[in-house]
Amino acid sequence: MPVLLLVEDDDAIAAPLAEGLGREGFEVIGVRDGAGALAAEGYDAVLLDLGLPDLDGTTVCRSLRARSTVPIIVISARGEEADRVEGLELGADDYLVKPFGFRELVARIRSVMRRRQGQVGPDGPQRIGVLDIDRRSRRVHCRGREISLTAREFDLLAFLADDPGAVVSRQDILDRVWDPLWYGTSKTIDVHVASLRRKLGDGKLIETARGIGFRLVRIDA
C-alpha cells in the first residue's frame, strides 16, 4: 500500500483528505508542521501545504528534495504565478491550488508516482522493447544503435517513457517538458515528435492519440 506524507496544519482539511485517500488505497501519515515533515520516514510521496506554523513550506520543500527524490505535490492557497514557479523550481513534482477537486488530487498523486516508478537509477538504463534510455548519461539506443537527440527531444522521449503505453496529453507535455508557463503553440510538440520518429527509425514507437496527445509503444523486435 503506498504511503503518503500529508503535511497540513488545518484539521478541517487534513482529516477528510486522509479519510478519502484511505478509501483510495493509500496509507496516510499526517503531520501538522515543517519539523514533523522533516522528521517523518517511510513514505512514498508528499502532499505539502506551504502555510505551516513553524517553517515556510518552501523551506520544507527544498530540504525534502535535497535529501530524496520522493514525489512532492504542493497543495497550497498560494495560487499566484510566482508561487507556482517557485514551488516547481524548488523541486516539487506538481502544484495544486486550493480549493481543488479530490479526484484531481488522486489522479495527480498516481501520475507522479507512476513517473517516478518508471525511472531507473544510476545502475542502468530503462529498457522498453527495442529502446534503452539512460537518464543519467542522457543517452538513447534503439535496436543497439545510439541515437543522437537534442536536449528537448531526449526530455520528451524520457517523459513518454515514464509511463509506457499510457496516453500523455499535449498539455502535460507542455507543462513537464517545456514549461508550465509556455505561451507558444502546441505544434512545437508535433515537430519534436516527428523528429524523434525519424531519428528512431520507426514511426510506430510513438503513437498519436488523436485530439489528446501521444503514447510510447513497446516494440520488442
pLDDT at 124: 59
pLDDT reading at 213 higher than 80: yes
Per-residue pLDDT band for 16 (boundaries 50, 70, 90) equals very high
pLDDT at 179: 65
Mean per-residue pLDDT, 9-25: 93
Cα 40 from Cα 123, distance rounded (Å): 27
pLDDT reading at 42 higher than 90: yes
Higher pLDDT, 182 or 194: 194
3-state secondary structure the chain: CCEEEEECCCHHHHHHHHHHHHHCCCEEEEECCHHHHHHCCCCCEEEECCCCCCCCHHHHHHHHHHHCCCCEEEEECCCCHHHHHHHHHCCCCEEEECCCCHHHHHHHHHHHHHHHHCCCCCCCCEEECCEEEECCCCEEEECCEEECCCHHHHHHHHHHHCCCCCCEEHHHHHHHHHCCCCCCCCHHHHHHHHHHHHHHCCHHHEEEECCCEEEECCCCC
For 42, the grid coordinates are 517511510
Domains and CATH numbers, the chain: 3-117 (3.40.50.2300), 126-216 (1.10.10.10)
Side chain identity at residue 119, one-letter code:
Q
Q: Which residues are within 8 A (CB) of 12 and not within 5 positions of it... i.e. 6 or more apart?
A: none
pLDDT at 125: 80
pLDDT reading at 101 higher than 70: yes
pLDDT at 85: 82
Describe the crossing of helices 102-117 and 11-23 by its angle, rounded to 10 degrees: 60
Per-residue pLDDT band for 118 (boundaries 50, 70, 90) equals low
pLDDT reading at 48 higher than 50: yes
pLDDT at 66: 87
pLDDT reading at 121 higher than 50: no
C-alpha to C-alpha distances, 102 to 96, 107, 113, 164, nearest whole angstrom: 11, 9, 17, 26
**Count of beta carbons in the 10 Å neighbourhood of residue 177:** 21
Side chain identity at residue 87, one-letter code:
G
User: Does the N-terminal peptide bond of residue 71 adopt cis geometry, omega within 30 degrees of 0?
Assistant: no
Residues above pLDDT 90, as percent of the chain: 49
How many residues in the chain?
221
The residue whose grid cell reads 512514498 is 44
Cα 145 from Cα 200, distance rounded (Å): 9
Cα 184 from Cα 98, distance rounded (Å): 27
pLDDT reading at 46 higher than 50: yes
Is the full-model pTM beyond 0.75? no
> Mean pLDDT of all residues in the chain?
87
